Amino acid sequence: MDLLERGSAWLEDQRNRRMTRMVTYQRGADSVDLAATIGRTEFEQADEFGVIHKTESRDYLVRTADLVLAGVQTLPKAGDRIRETDGVKTFVYEVMAPGSEPPYRYSDPYRRTLRDFKAGCVTPCTSGAEITVDLRKNGASLLSVPVTLDHTQTARQLVAAAISTMAVAAGDVLEVVVTATPGTGTVGQGLFGTLTLDELPQ
């Protein structure tokens, strides 16, 4: 563990000790009590008419190691629920995300507490056509599966990837590999994407 990682671990420990409240995380009949730091995130998404829709979510920062259900460490899934008590009231929130956003992401480069890669088209594919977008480091894919863009997306809708390998270092070469398959339709136009990285200080 290097100096930066030790510093990150210390900060994470302080967050968990001093900036949290207890919530209950549920999946079906299984549940676990977690210390969570509560925040919020605003999302913007354009529909097929170019109208911007804004959504605000309630965020919970928890330690990855604490999320254990039925004796097994797990990761959040859409449809899970979080119960938060404030005084005599208990609020129930469903784990979800707008559009194709993932229902969770890591908040630090050591995965204790993912930044993201997303792709979309200005003009989406028509039925029968698709585009796959892969993010690679030194020739190897960083994604669990490539992003698939087809007729189910709207104009300018970003589709989030599931990132399987997070670490990058100085000298690594990142590339985006795009495969367009017309099939029986028309391939989308105006492909674009976003990649968000956490850059550690030297």
Angle CA 132–133–139, to nearest 5: 120
Identify residue 169 by its one-letter amino acid code: A
> In this predicted structure, what is the pLDDT of residue 198?
59
Nearest-angstrom CA–CA distance, 41 and 193: 20
What are phi and psi for residue 148, nearest 5 degrees? -110, 125
**pLDDT value for 2:** 61
pLDDT of 94-151, one tens digit each?
A: 888 766 667 777 666 555 443 578 888 999 999 999 999 999 988 888 888 889 999 9
Query: What is the residue extent of each domain of the chain?
Result: 3-94, 117-195
How far from 126 is each of 7, 179, 200, CA to CA, in Å? 49, 16, 41
Quote the pTM value: 0.48
How many angstroms separate the CA atoms of 77 and 23, rounded?
Answer: 16
